[in-house]
């Protein structure tokens, strides 16, 4: 199949490379000339494990091309994916659909022969109808079908998720479009990944319902963590105790500094707006968004407590800036409000992230960026783990103690055992567990 992927960001680039790997003939389009030029030089615009090699192999095999020429790519394609961004609209939290609708207009102008247009971007229910209307208005003569095919990949494990999905959701009632979609995903279908055909609106809503549910699970355990701290219980054990129940499941029960990233914050907000617009308010999701928003900044209070209520003039080292490990994505990362709150309380902040520093620098003022975890801890009165990168899981506490002003560790990801850290003479604060004073 000939595929055009409009938008070569996290989703477009990974999906395009994986479809090419399945044997399809893929052209990834982006309007950002710099991005396309960089990819053609072999430089990936994002950090995603395995992506450089996957792109290189499929380019060498002649199945994967990159261009800024949208009309050329669309004309030649059987299937055109829209994988552009749908950020929160400034001011009201609705999804900003201007990139999707602009792409639809550009695609319409170049359609040639029956073409399936597939929305992979996360879009509110009813967007497919509007994409269809835009294209029909511009090209009453065109033969096309508009399909919703939301993407569920996770940054940091994107290639694996794309190639081994729990399910593929295809929203379309058009028989020809369903055939094209089955052909596109045939290798996965043969691999027994469930392919779920639904109506278009249902598919659009499945994506938001999935993200809102996972965000709710995270927020639930975070609130239980707060209670556990007050009553002397351990949230890690509570998570295990409830997660072993098959009806609940163990995933997304890790207490921490609140969810961030390019999807959950904006998607929960957009779903809330959709609910309000349709007179079906989603009170649980509204609360989840509000609780999570307040939580990120509130994490600074843990640092304050660990330093006996005084941060002014003290140095705090922050380990991990990206919203999760194995990505360089800084969108809505919990590190951002946390660092601002630390600075507001008068702290000087040093920071280190294994891959996210370049993305983080423009977003953070008055932060000293360091070359590694130990440089970050130099002269610090507290070290805060914000992102659970592998390399932070085996810190040399003896060394840290010699370079820090006082040995205080605030572990917002619960990656250490309290007794273990205390043995090295550290004050240790984590999430949903009793704080530990140095032994």
Ligand X SMILES: NC(=O)c1ccc[n+]([C@@H]2O[C@H](COP(=O)([O-])OP(=O)(O)OC[C@H]3O[C@@H](n4cnc5c(N)ncnc54)[C@H](O)[C@@H]3O)[C@@H](O)[C@H]2O)c1
Residue 123 or 303 having the CB closest to ligand X: 123
Q: How far is Cα 173 from Cα 87, in angstroms, rounded to an integer?
A: 28
Beta bridge partners of 412: none
Residue 74 or 410 having the CB closest to ligand X: 74
**Shortest Å, Cβ 352 to ligand X:** 24
User: Residues interacting with ligand X, by CB under 6 A?
Assistant: 6-12, 29-32, 35, 70, 83-86, 99, 102-103, 106, 121-122, 151, 153, 155, 262-263
Residue 128 or 407 having the CB closest to ligand X: 128
**Shortest Å, Cβ 86 to ligand X:** 4
- HSE toward the beta carbon, residue 341, CA cutoff 13 A: 17
**What is the CB neighbour count within 10 angstroms for residue 422?**
19
Residue 31 or 417 having the CB closest to ligand X: 31
CB-based contact 233:239 (threshold 8 Å): no
- Locate tokens 């914000």: which residue? 386
Q: How far is Cα 172 from Cα 180, in angstroms, rounded to an integer?
A: 11
Q: Pick from 114, 14, 39, 130: which is nearest to 74 by CA?
A: 114
**Shortest Å, Cβ 29 to ligand X:** 5
Residue 102 or 174 having the CB closest to ligand X: 102
Q: Across 16-119, where does the E strand assignment appear?
A: 25-29, 64-67, 79-82, 115-119
**Shortest Å, Cβ 115 to ligand X:** 16
Contacts of 43 (CB under 8 A, 6+ apart): none
**Shortest Å, Cβ 261 to ligand X:** 7
Q: Pick from 284, 367, 329, 430: which is nearest to 85 by CA?
A: 329
Residue 8 or 343 having the CB closest to ligand X: 8
Expressed in percent and rounded to 5, the helix, strand and coil fractions of the chain are 45, 15, 40
Residue 126 or 379 having the CB closest to ligand X: 126
Whether 18 is a known active-site residue: answer no
Residue among 263, 370, 376, 406 flagged as catalytic: 263
CB-based contact 207:193 (threshold 8 Å): no
- Locate tokens 């615009």: which residue? 45
CB-based contact 35:8 (threshold 8 Å): yes
CB-based contact 113:143 (threshold 8 Å): yes
The residue of the chain with the least Cβ separation from ligand X equals 9
Contacts of 181 (CB under 8 A, 6+ apart): 79, 116, 118, 147, 149, 170, 172
**Shortest Å, Cβ 123 to ligand X:** 7
**Shortest Å, Cβ 410 to ligand X:** 28
Dihedral over alpha carbons 423, 424, 425, 429 (to 10 degrees): -80
Active-site residues, by number, are: 263
């Amino acid at each position: 199949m000939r595929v055009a992927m409009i938008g070569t960001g996290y989703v477009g680039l990974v999906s395009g490379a994986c479809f090419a790997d399945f044997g399809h003939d893929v052209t990834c389009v982006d309007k950002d000339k710099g991005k396309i030029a960089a990819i053609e030089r072999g430089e990936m615009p994002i950090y995603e494990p395995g992506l450089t090699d996957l792109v290189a192999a499929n380019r060498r095999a002649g199945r994967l091309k990159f261009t800024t020429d949208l009309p050329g790519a669309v004309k030649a394609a059987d299937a055109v994916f829209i994988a552009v961004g749908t950020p929160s609209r400034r001011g009201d939290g609705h999804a900003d659909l201007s990139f999707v609708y602009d792409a639809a207009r550009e695609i319409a102008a170049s359609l040639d022969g029956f073409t399936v247009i597939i929305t992979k971007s996360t879009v509110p229910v009813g967007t497919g109808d509007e994409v269809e209307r835009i294209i029909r208005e511009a090209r009453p003569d065109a033969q096309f079908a508009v399909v919703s095919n939301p993407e569920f990949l996770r940054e940091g494990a994107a290639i694996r998720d794309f190639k081994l999905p729990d399910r593929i959701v295809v929203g379309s009632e058009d028989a020809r479009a369903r055939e094209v979609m089955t052909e596109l995903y045939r290798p996965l279908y043969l691999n027994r990944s469930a392919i779920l055909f639904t109506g278009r609106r249902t598919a659009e809503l499945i994506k938001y319902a999935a993200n809102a549910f996972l965000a709710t699970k995270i927020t639930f355990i975070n609130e239980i963590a707060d209670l556990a701290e007050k009553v002397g219980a351990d949230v890690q054990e509570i998570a295990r105790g409830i997660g072993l129940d098959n009806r609940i499941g163990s995933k997304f029960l890790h207490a921490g500094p609140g969810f961030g990233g390019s999807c959950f914050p904006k998607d929960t907000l957009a779903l809330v707006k959709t609910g309000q617009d349709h007179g079906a308010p989603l009170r649980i999701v509204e609360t989840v968004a509000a609780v999570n928003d307040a939580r990120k900044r509130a994490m600074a209070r843990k640092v304050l407590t660990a330093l006996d209520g005084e941060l002014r003039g003290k140095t705090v080292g922050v380990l991990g800036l990206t919203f999760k490990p194995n990505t360089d994505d800084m969108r809505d990362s919990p590190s951002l409000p946390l660092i601002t709150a630390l600075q507001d309380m008068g702290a000087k902040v040093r920071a280190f992230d294994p891959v996210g520093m370049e993305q983080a620098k423009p977003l953070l003022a008055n932060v000293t960026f360091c070359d590694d975890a130990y440089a970050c801890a130099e002269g610090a009165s507290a070290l805060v783990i914000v992102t659970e990168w592998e390399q932070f899981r085996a810190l040399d506490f003896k060394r840290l103690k010699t370079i820090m002003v006082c040995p205080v560790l605030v572990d917002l990801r619960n990656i250490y055992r309290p007794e273990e850290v205390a043995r090295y003479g550290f004050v240790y604060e984590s999430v949903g567990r009793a704080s530990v004073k140095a032994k």
